[in-house]
Amino acid sequence: MEKTTTKTAYCRASLTYRRKHISLGSFPTEKAAHDAYLEGRRILHDYSCTLGSYRPASPLAFAKWVSLLNFRDNGAYFSNPIYLAGRMFYYYLSPSRILKFDQDDLSYYAAHKIMCRGNHYFVADYGSQISISSRYRIRPYAREGKDFRFLNGDSNDFRRENLEILNIYHGVTPEMKNGQYVYTVRIHVRGNYLVGRYVSMTEAAIAYNKAVDILRENGFSKNYSVNYIEGLPSGKYAELYDRLQISARIRSCRP
């Protein structure tokens, strides 16, 4: 235990386990730091102590409980509240809010702390707030059930086997009509304007790009994002672009 004196005095608590020095945090009094030390030792040495044993009155934060229990049970220490479970891991934002990820994401989330605002999860990266959904090809403002869905119904389960991406394109909405998908395209001008309905997602994505080009030619300066279509030869893109019909309302729209 180390005592530091500044304008506000506080005490740091730490311990060593399996030859690793672990900081337990800073505390307002020596007694609080000592209690945290004793709690840390109990977690690491008493195997009857589990995540279910945590109580809000604990001298240690819940995130530290997770880190210590994972080190005890799985031999890996992470400063973030990660608990390994075979080919996946849990990220504990709280005792009741638990995110699930594939083992392949471990190095990223071990180095990036997840924060939440409502049901929006993000990390700080290169000075910006980055939505974790972007790692899974879920676009900003994508609609659950329309653009993507969680196959098991658990919106906190980000394992790739549980994510189905229905649409990766701007302005495109898949709609079921007579047992078949139709892809409706809308673009926001002064409200949402209908661009058209198309038989494939690729055609719909190109139609959106064509609508963007028409609006720019008509004098709109809004910085519309355009769709990037992977794996489509440039000649085929141009053929579809020329053939696709765009609504007269878009063509006649002026700022």
Task: Tell me if 25 sits within 8 A of 12, measured CB to CB.
Answer: yes
User: Is residue 6's pLDDT more than 60?
Assistant: no
- The average pLDDT across 2-15 equals 71
Residue 146 scores a pLDDT above 90: no
pLDDT digits (tens, 9 = 90+) for 220-231: 999 998 999 988
Stronger pLDDT, 206 or 141, i.e. the higher one = 206
pLDDT of residue 1: 53
Report the pLDDT value the prediction gives residue 168, as an integer from 0 to 100: 86
Q: Which amino acid is at 174?
A: P
CA 173 to CA 155: how far, in whole Å? Answer: 20
Q: Reply yes or no on whether the pLDDT at 3 is more than 70.
A: no
Q: With contact defined as beta carbons under 8 Å apart, do 72 and 43 qualify? A: yes
How large is the greatest C-alpha to C-alpha distance in the chain, in angstroms?
76
**CA distance linking residue 226 with residue 214, whole number of Å:** 13
> What does the pLDDT read at residue 177?
85
- Torsions phi, psi of 5, nearest 5? -110, 120
Residues 15-59 have pLDDT tens digits of: 999 999 999 999 999 999 999 999 999 999 999 999 999 999 999
Ordered alpha helix ranges (H), 75-196: 106-111
- Greater confidence, 92 or 2? 92
Task: List residues bridging with 115 in a β-sheet.
Answer: 122
Per-residue pLDDT tens digits for 150-209: 999 999 999 999 999 888 899 998 888 888 889 999 999 989 999 999 999 999 999 999
Alpha-carbon gap, residue 196 to 62, rounded angstroms? 52
Burial class (CB in 10 A: 0-12, 13-18, 19+), 77: middle
Number of H helices and E strands in the chain, helices first, is 6, 14
The half-sphere exposure of 109 on its side-chain side, counting CA atoms within 13 A, is: 28
Q: What band does 2 get if pLDDT is binned at 50, 70 and 90?
A: low
Q: What average pLDDT does the structure give for the chain?
A: 92
DSSP assignment letter at 14: E
b/e code 10-23 from CB counts within 10 Å (16+ = b) = bbebebebeeeebe
Per-residue confidence (pLDDT) for residue 174, from 0 to 100:
85
Q: How far apart are CA 212 and CA 214, in angstroms?
A: 5
Give SS3 for 92.
strand
pLDDT band, residue 5 (cuts 50/70/90): very low
Show the tokens assigned to 157: 């389960």
Average of pLDDT values for 61-90?
Answer: 97
Q: What is the CA radius of gyration of the chain?
A: 26
Backbone angles phi, psi at 242, to 5 degrees: -70, -35
